[in-house]
Amino acid sequence: MTDPIVAANTSGWIAEHREKYLSSNGADGHMFDSTPFGGPGLVPTLLLTTTGRRSGQQRVIPILYGETDNGGYVVLGSKGGAEKHPAWYLNLLANPDVEVQVGEDKFKARARTAVGEERERLWVRQQAIAPIFDGYQENAGDREIPVIVLERI
């Protein structure tokens, strides 16, 4: 059985979104229309570049984001509510130094998984941006969807 997220990332809507974002240097693609996927409409997305934990290859994924109180960014490892973590999250666990593009702003960052009160606070903030995340958590079974903080370095 083919993983629908992997398929979308290689030749589907995720790949299309990533290429639009990259080819326009963030002018087109930063705001993503999430309504076809049950989302609330236009949502902000960033490009996250991780290093493959096995391949060593650079992997670029567009992800909906929010902001922290101190200028960082927050993304969720939801994988649409799948029972397994997305590959990009496993990659950043192995190598937390990443590259980020928010609109036209490109920078290096370090990723970390939020825990405890910080995780809960940031989860609520992300859920307010896209309420669909609550359904994703329900679908994920025993897997707690990771809340990842990206801090500029």
Tens-digit pLDDT string for the chain (153 aa): 455 555 556 768 888 999 999 999 999 999 988 888 777 788 899 999 999 999 999 999 999 999 998 999 999 988 776 678 899 999 999 999 999 999 999 999 999 999 999 999 998 988 888 766 666 766 667 888 899 999 999
Instruction: Provide the whole-model pTM.
Output: 0.86
Locate all alpha helices (DSSP H) within 24-115, ordered by sequence: 87-94
Q: Quickly tell me which residue has 């960014």 as its tokens.
A: 73
Number of domains the chain contains:
1
91 touches 132 (CB < 8 A): no
Give the domain range for residue 88: 4-152
**DSSP code for 101:** E
